[in-house]
Structure 1
Amino acid sequence: MDPKRIAENFEGKTIFITGSTGFLAKVLVEKIRRVQPNVKKLFLLIRASSDRSIEQRLDHEIVDTELFRVLRDKWGENFASIISSKVIPISCDISHENLGITSTELRDVMWREVDFIVNSAATTRFDERYDVALDINTFGAMHISNFAKKCSKLKLLLHISTGHILEKSLHMGETLEGAKASYLDIKAEKKLVEETKTTLQALNMIEKELTSTLKDLGIERLYTFLLLLLEMKAA
């Protein structure tokens, strides 16, 4: 598709981007603000850290970076006001229902206004704690999907994955042709994690040991899934 036509599709539209402090999301935000000045809003999902608010993370980790130098040079002293007029940080977490957005007013506004959702929130560590990986990469994707279903104007939900590439887009509720989901029960995996954590905590494990054990569990489950996939492929 012609890049100019893509930019035109964002005119007057509201876009919700998760994983906003990550590399891909930052590039996307800068690109949209540069090629489509008439975008309506950019809602950016940002989690507050122990030492920075979402506004501080927006400034320090996104708009104050070298990536936005072209726009800073272009807009000069108006840069901050132009950015803040369209870019809206949202304190939320995809590992929770409704993405952790506690304000019903804000949720209603997003459900009415959001036209596009780009989900790039993920943990990309291959030795991640299994509980963390499940909460973000599995249940996080489910929560994003559930949130998207409530967006009355939604035109596209784009999920960025390091694990799978589709040659064609899918409609909401559609699955891959011939796909079988019976090999993975995410509720059972969630129960396994919760029971494991309860057992480990009862042993008064220190945090370092708890983390190491949950990482080992993640690697063990990964090998199990890979073997199941190989068996399915061979069948």
Structure 2
Amino acid sequence: MEESGNAIGFLENKTILITGSTGFLAKILLEKILRIQPNVKKLYLLLRATDETTAMQRFCNEVMGKDLFKVLKKKWGANLDRFISEKVSVVSSDISVSDMGLEDSTLVEEIKHNVQIIINLAATTKFNERYDVALGTNTLGAKHVVNFAKQCPNFKLLVHVSTAYISGEKEGFILETPHKLGESLNGTEGLNIEIEQKIIEQRLKQLKANGASEKDVTIAMKDLGIQRANQHGWPNTYVFTKAMGEMLINDLKHNLPLIIIRPTIVTSTYKEPFSGWIEGMRTIDNFIVGYAKGKLTFIPCDTNSIIDMIPADMVVNTIIATMMMHKLQPPYQTTIYHIGSSTRNPIKPGDLLRFTCQYFIKKPWFNGDGNAIKVKEITTFNNFASFHRYITIRYLIFLKVLELVNKASCNCLEDKYNDLKRKLNWVMRQVQLYRPYLFFNARKPKLSFRVILAKSLDLMTPT
């Protein structure tokens, strides 16, 4: 029986559909639900695959095969497989197409009849993703999810996980307000999602007619995404397509109860199921690993601004807590939550750089030859003008001279030249990609967050 005011009790006997189930947050959410509430009725896990066999293989390898589930495996021991088979149904899908790519009509009807909650975690989070891919998943995927939810007779709640950075480069306090359909950040008129689709189709048709290679198509689609995002005031393809996804969900949901979760920069787990679990190279990690490898020795940034980060398990706890709390909201209301740390426990870039330096001095990264990579304090520039001057004087002139000397000496310095060029190109790519956030000065106040925070912290107690 559901316990009043208890987020764990709320999950009892619930049937939940989760999209993007091989993703970072989805895995942590799945592990959390199975660990704290074994009496959940059913979890339908949607993941991209060509058929059910491939879907199950991906689930076994990319989800249950992860170290994240070691606490759950220890808890259930030899009974784990039976438990998973009873509680989890893995479904091949593609949310970028109509009906989320679900083809088994019998299974579709079963899901529609039983599902009570949908948690949409499917997303591509690359800042410079191909525009066709990002629009398909982040924007049209949101549309297909909400349209599916409207066909479920016993439906209770839709949870859509977005990003706090759909606000673009606005400074100051960012409020938890919805994005209206067709509303750009810079006041540019004519933001129309159907037109964006046509622009992509026309560009792909043009590239095909010109005989472009797959590599050329990828580059063109990435450039198109950044171009379209910038035209309407967003800094990159990821946040632009996520913003349009929110627009569509808000416009199409009608009477569906809706929660939109907007986390800031999601980092490794703080506590559950154990601290420090992370998967892949995420936003901050690119810089930290680049520094550890000796690639990053300088960076333009405001060392006194705020980096808004939040541990992944706190995001998951908030998702669960907000679902339970939503029953206290007026029917059919859309509630938006910013999940971050900037108003309660902010960290400055200068502090992060100092902590990173101290860590890798004590515990250095080792290169391919087994030698420790020595690091030193990183050089920072408080504006891009001084950064570019430094690059020109310290590296570009030297690189050009080295190129000439290398050619004159029959390529004797080829390795040194290529190594320096590769490192410089890597730094410049990272700076260009993350440029809007290196001087970011916005905070996400959690206007309705105090009770949610308390419920989330309750969920931090391992079961």
TM-score, length of structure 1 as denominator length: 0.86
- The answer as to 2:195 corresponding to 1:188 is yes
Greater relative contact order, per chain length (Cα 8 Å cut-off, separation 6+): 1
Distance in 1 of aligned mates of 2:50 and 2:125: 19
Distance in 2 of aligned mates of 1:116 and 1:164: 24
* Aligned residue in 2 for 1:200: 207
* Alignment map for 1:124-139 (pairs within 5 Å): 124-139=125-140
Q: Residue type matched to 1:102 in 2?
A: E
1:176 is aligned, of 178, 184, 206, to: 178
* Aligned residue in 1 for 2:229: 222
Q: Residue type matched to 1:188 in 2?
A: I
Distance in 1 of aligned mates of 2:152 and 2:106: 14
Change (3 A) 1:10 1:81: same
Q: Offset of 1:64 from its aligned partner?
A: 2.0
Distance in 1 of aligned mates of 2:31 and 2:21: 11
Distance in 1 of aligned mates of 2:25 and 2:101: 22
Q: Offset of 1:87 from its aligned partner?
A: 0.8
* Aligned residue in 2 for 1:147: 148
* Alignment map for 1:48-197 (pairs within 5 Å): 48=49, 53-162=54-163, 163-164=165-166, 176=178, 179=180, 181=182, 183=189, 184-197=191-204
List per-residue Cα deviations over 1:65-120 (Å, max 9, x = no partner).
11111111111111111111111110001001110001111111111100111101
| Contact 2:50 2:92 (8 Å CA) reproduced | no
Q: Offset of 1:180 from its aligned partner?
A: 5.5
Q: Residue type matched to 1:130 in 2?
A: Y
List per-residue Cα deviations over 1:15-62 (Å, max 9, x = no partner).
000111111100110110111111111000111279x81111111111
| CA RMSD across the alignment | 2.4
* Aligned residue in 1 for 2:31: 30
Q: Offset of 1:176 from its aligned partner?
A: 3.2
Structure 2 unpaired stretches of 5+: 168-173, 184-188, 235-239, 241-463
SS at match of 2:116: strand
| Contact 2:49 2:94 (8 Å CA) reproduced | no
Change (3 A) 1:167 1:103: farther
Q: Residue type matched to 1:194 in 2?
A: E
Distance in 2 of aligned mates of 1:224 and 1:216: 12
Structure 1 unpaired stretches of 5+: 169-174, 230-235
* Aligned residue in 2 for 1:21: 22
Tell me the matched-pair count. Answer: 219
List per-residue Cα deviations over 1:156-181 (Å, max 9, x = no partner).
1111012449977xxxxxx938x352
* Aligned residue in 2 for 1:9: 10
Distance in 2 of aligned mates of 1:155 and 1:7: 17
